[in-house]
Amino acid sequence: MEEAKFYKKEPDQKVRCYLCSHRCLIPPDKLGICGVRRNIDGTLYSLVYGKAIADQVDPIEKKPFFHFYPGSLSFSIATVGCNFRCLNCQNFSISQIINEGGQIIGKGLKPEQIVESALLNRCESIAYTYTEPTIFLEYVLDTAKIAKPKGIKNVLVTNGYITEEALREAAPLIDAANIDLKGFNEERHLRLCGAKLKPVLDSIRLYHDLGIWIEVTTLVIPHHNDSPEELDQIAHFLADLDPAIPWHVTRFSPAYKLIDEPRTPIETLQKAREIGLAAGLRYVYTGNIPGEMGENTFCYQCHTLLIERRGFFLKQNIIKEAHCPNCGAKIDGVGLG
């Protein structure tokens, strides 16, 4: 166990965790909502520090990041646990293991070993992903502190439920984040994932204001968040914040507790892409449908095909020094070529 950061001691040996926006008040010998932070005699501990449930090399496009060092590799790690209860979770076997009555598992993997593996595998970045990285943020920060001086970037794939206090402290070490925006209706958001919508919107704004490169993903689920009106609300929220934010509208497949819903029709994702572009976003991508035109990057000014993709892999990238070679428009992103 490792003593947690981001908490305050309260009367009667209770503690107030302020790592995520649930801000759990945890009595002695109890866990927070995430299931991996325990109050022991008035001290909060992380139960997953140094316990990796997954560690592997992925294309950065798998996260998905399309405007952050495209074509590069990312060393991906996760622990068990999550502060959301998403009905559609693809990784429920590790994210919800505690809530399903299981135990905390994972192999011992020190921050130094993660960085060493990233270097050996010629990874441009380390991605904290698969489950929610906020709930193992101490592990993230200690790893990032070692990785950063060695030239390795650090990226989060996150639900965006981190508090302002925690994000401001983490920001100097975080280079990019892909944030899930699961919808734009407070009631449905709460029903779908067990958390409020507003803190996610607030953190998207804060990530952007802190200068962290962000991309946003919306898993489009039939009968939940697939109406043109709700997709238009998401698109306008992002475009008003910054039209350069890439928006990934991704195909849902039945999983976990949403096994009775159909897969998202391709036409719905194509419509979502049209909605995003009409709202003023420069880059809108359709996900989980390899070979579809919407996974490619086009110049927002002259519409030249700049990056051609098939699934998680690049077929070509003709961007030159972050500019379109045809019209000279600056293409937004980091490490584009």
Q: What is the pLDDT of residue 25?
A: 98
**Tens digit of each residue's pLDDT (9 = 90 or more) over 10-53:** 999 999 999 999 999 999 999 999 999 999 999 999 999 999 99
**Tens digit of each residue's pLDDT (9 = 90 or more) over 159-174:** 999 999 999 999 999 9
- Whether residue 110 is predicted with pLDDT greater than 90 in this model: the reply is yes
Query: In whole numbers, what is the pLDDT of the chain averaged over residues?
Result: 97
**Tens digit of each residue's pLDDT (9 = 90 or more) over 244-257:** 999 999 999 999 99
What value, to the nearest 5°, has the Cα angle with vertex 177 and ends 163 and 263? 105
Q: What is the pLDDT of residue 57?
A: 98
What amino acid occupies position 127?
Answer: A
Q: At what angle do helices 137-147 and 111-120 cross, to 10 degrees?
A: 50
Encoded tokens for 245? 């934010």
- Tell me the mean pLDDT in the region 310-317: 94
Any idea of the CA torsion for 326, 331, 336, 337, to the nearest 10 degrees? 30
What is the share, in percent, of the chain residues with pLDDT greater than 70?
100
**Tens digit of each residue's pLDDT (9 = 90 or more) over 117-153:** 999 999 999 999 999 999 999 999 999 999 999 999 9
Query: What confidence category does residue 337 fall into, taking pLDDT thresholds of 50, 70 and 90?
Result: confident
Q: At what angle do helices 228-241 and 198-209 cross, to 10 degrees?
A: 30
CB 314 within 8 A of CB 60: no
Q: Is 248 helix (H, G, I), strand (E, B) or coil?
A: strand
pTM above 0.95, yes or no: yes
- Whether residue 102 is predicted with pLDDT greater than 90 in this model: the reply is no
Query: What confidence category does residue 60 fall into, taking pLDDT thresholds of 50, 70 and 90?
Result: very high
DSSP code of 294? G
- Whether residue 100 is predicted with pLDDT greater than 90 in this model: the reply is no
- Whether residue 9 is predicted with pLDDT greater than 90 in this model: the reply is yes
Q: Which residues of 71-81 are buried (b: 16+ CB within 10 A; e: fewer)?
A: bbbbbbbbbbb
Query: What confidence category does residue 77 fall into, taking pLDDT thresholds of 50, 70 and 90?
Result: very high
- Whether residue 101 is predicted with pLDDT greater than 90 in this model: the reply is no
Q: What is the pLDDT of residue 99?
A: 83
**How far is residue 139 CA from its own chain's centroid?**
16
Q: Which domains does the chain have, with CATH numbers?
A: 2-46 (no CATH), 51-293 (3.20.20.70)
